[in-house]
Structure 1
Amino acid sequence: MKAYVSVFRLRLTNGMQYRTAALAGVATQFFWGFIIIMVFEAFYSGAATELPISLKQLITYVWLQQAFLAFVMLWFRDNELFQLITTGNIAYELCRPSGIYGLWFAKLLAQRLASALLRCFPILLVALFLPEPYRMPLPIDPAAFLLFLFALLFGLLMIVSLSMLMYISVFVTLSPAGSLLMFGVIGEFLAGMVIPVPLMPEWLQRIVYVLPFRWTADFPFRVYSGHITKEEALIGIGIQLVWLLVLVAVGKMAMAKALRNVVVNGG
């Protein structure tokens, strides 16, 4: 564990140095946030029936999505890990006196956390003071906010577990672009990053609800806005924990199987 904690601290400190890139990211995310909100505002103004999520809750959903984008985006990647696999330098990782799965998990977790810490606070601070209808409201009560924090944390751990499966798949495909495209496009759509889950057709919602992706983004954001009740949130956090254990177990087994088949030539 000391090795994993050391790697986590080193990557977190290193990631916190990129402040200029973070400011550029904040500006980009504000731009996209306003665009998405205006699209949904036009959609809601022309709706003939009552929609399953209010516009205010949807605006909260969008700003949280932009603030914690580094927590929930599946296309977030570490090119160094891809190069280790495709170039054969994975041999050096195999010589380390620590498990590769835990080591890479710590790296990816620190990178996402550092990126989110640099970007989320400016976005949230501004979003809370914007004029209507663009303002993001405060949580409905302290209990909902506490549940949101737990849901967001478990969602982060789940997204790192899902990302690990993406890196492990490159051992088989040897195509980082293919694995990234497959996991990024399909996973983010099913997580509600393109269309919020409540606005999806019922048949698609039934598919989304049996997969792990929505628990990484859709669930914590709707807990914050009050669209998911506190009782449902407690049950949902338990489901997140179960999914996390399953994903980590599957990832470790897949990593062990992939490493048994690794062949490195050269010297």
Structure 2
Amino acid sequence: MKSYLSLFRIRMINGLQYRAVAIGSILTRFCWGIMEILAFFAIHESGENFAMTFSQTASYIWMQQAFILMYNVIDNDQEIEASINNGSIAYQLALPMNLYGNWFTQCLANRLSPTMLNCLPVLILAMLIPAPYRLRLPDLNTVILFLVSTVLALDVVGAIAVLMHITMFYTISQRGMKIIGRAVVGFFAGGLIPLPYFPEIFQKVVSLLPFASTQSTPLLIYSGSLTGKDAVSAMGLQVFWIAVLITFGYYAMNHTLKRVVVQGG
């Protein structure tokens, strides 16, 4: 465990060094959030009744933009991808550390460090804009549930990311898998449109998938769309998917490594 904690700390420090990138990301997230909120405002002005109020939708979008780097399953683990492509994974296999635990720890740190730089400024800007477009502050119990659910969501994201990397052992290029993964996870996780805007039958099916546990669950808890027993049940589903994905990923990794051949020297 000390090895994993040390690796996590190293990756965090490395990620916190890119402050200029963080400034650009903050401006991007703020501008993108404004555009999304204005689009949903136009939809609500049509007079239709939706499962989410406009205020809840605005809070959902702002929190999504603040934590979007944490919810990103794809594109944050270039070193892992490079180690598979160039064969340097042989050095990782020589380390006295389980490869699955190594990758899982890196995936968590690679998402948490940029989020720490990006999150607070976006939230401050979101609270300064006028109502009804601003970020709404919920009660303390909701904040606690949201934070716990966010930690669980990060674990689900890390487990899915490792599975994505394992599939790269079987492909010549990871580009196709990344395109498919980005589209599937983004859509079914509520990354493009919040799930409550979809038909009820669609919501019931998608909410049971692991993708909804990545960002839809914590964001719906914060916005007030998931409360009470429904919120606790959704968090229980997050714990379930963490156990399933990590167990499956661990055995998939062990099976895959038996077939790995590294050429060169």
Deviations 1:236-262 (A, max 9, x none): 212111110111001101111111110
* Mapped partners of 1:257, 1:35: distance in 2: 46
What's the counterpart of residue 226 of structure 1?
224
Amino acid at match of 1:70: L
What's the counterpart of residue 81 of structure 1?
80
Deviations 1:121-149 (A, max 9, x none): 0011111121122111101x211110010
What's the counterpart of residue 149 of structure 2?
151
Amino acid at match of 2:44: Y
CA apart distance, 1:15: 0.8
What's the counterpart of residue 164 of structure 1?
162
2:7 is the alignment partner of 1:7: yes
> Compared with structure 1, are the counterparts of its residues 148 and 163 closer, same or farther at alpha carbon in structure 2 (3 Å cutoff)?
same
Deviations 1:142-184 (A, max 9, x none): 1111001000110011001111111011011232111211111
Percentage identity across paired residues of the two chains? 38
Q: Which moved more, 1:35-44 or 1:203-212?
A: 203-212
What's the counterpart of residue 46 of structure 1?
46
TM-score by length of 2: 0.97
> Compared with structure 1, are the counterparts of its residues 256 and 75 closer, same or farther at alpha carbon in structure 2 (3 Å cutoff)?
same
1:223–1:230: 8 Å Cα contact kept in structure 2? no
* Mapped partners of 1:239, 1:210: distance in 2: 8
3-state SS of 1:97 partner:
coil
What's the counterpart of residue 113 of structure 2?
114
CA apart distance, 1:93: 1.0
1:22–1:118: 8 Å Cα contact kept in structure 2? yes
CA apart distance, 1:206: 3.4
Deviations 1:53-79 (A, max 9, x none): 100000000000000011112223211
> Where do 1:59-208 residues align within 5 Å?
59-139=58-138, 141-208=139-206
1:82–1:167: 8 Å Cα contact kept in structure 2? yes
Unaligned runs of at least 5 residues, structure 2: none
1:144–1:230: 8 Å Cα contact kept in structure 2? no
3-state SS of 2:128 partner:
coil
Q: Which moved more, 1:221-230 or 1:204-213?
A: 204-213
Q: CA RMSD in A?
A: 1.1
Q: Which moved more, 1:202-211 or 1:3-12?
A: 202-211
TM-score by length of 1: 0.96
* Mapped partners of 1:200, 1:261: distance in 2: 43
Unaligned runs of at least 5 residues, structure 1: none
Amino acid at match of 1:251: G
Deviations 1:73-125 (A, max 9, x none): 22232111111112222111111111011111111111111110000000111
CA apart distance, 1:216: 1.1
* Mapped partners of 2:166, 2:141: distance in 1: 38
1:8–1:110: 8 Å Cα contact kept in structure 2? yes
1:70–1:76: 8 Å Cα contact kept in structure 2? no
2:81–2:165: 8 Å Cα contact kept in structure 1? yes
2:247 is the alignment partner of 1:249: yes
Aligned residues: 265
2:73–2:182: 8 Å Cα contact kept in structure 1? yes
Deviations 1:213-254 (A, max 9, x none): 111111111111211112221222121111101110011011
2:72–2:111: 8 Å Cα contact kept in structure 1? no
Q: Where has structure 1 moved over 4 Å in runs of 4 or more?
A: none
* Mapped partners of 1:174, 1:86: distance in 2: 8
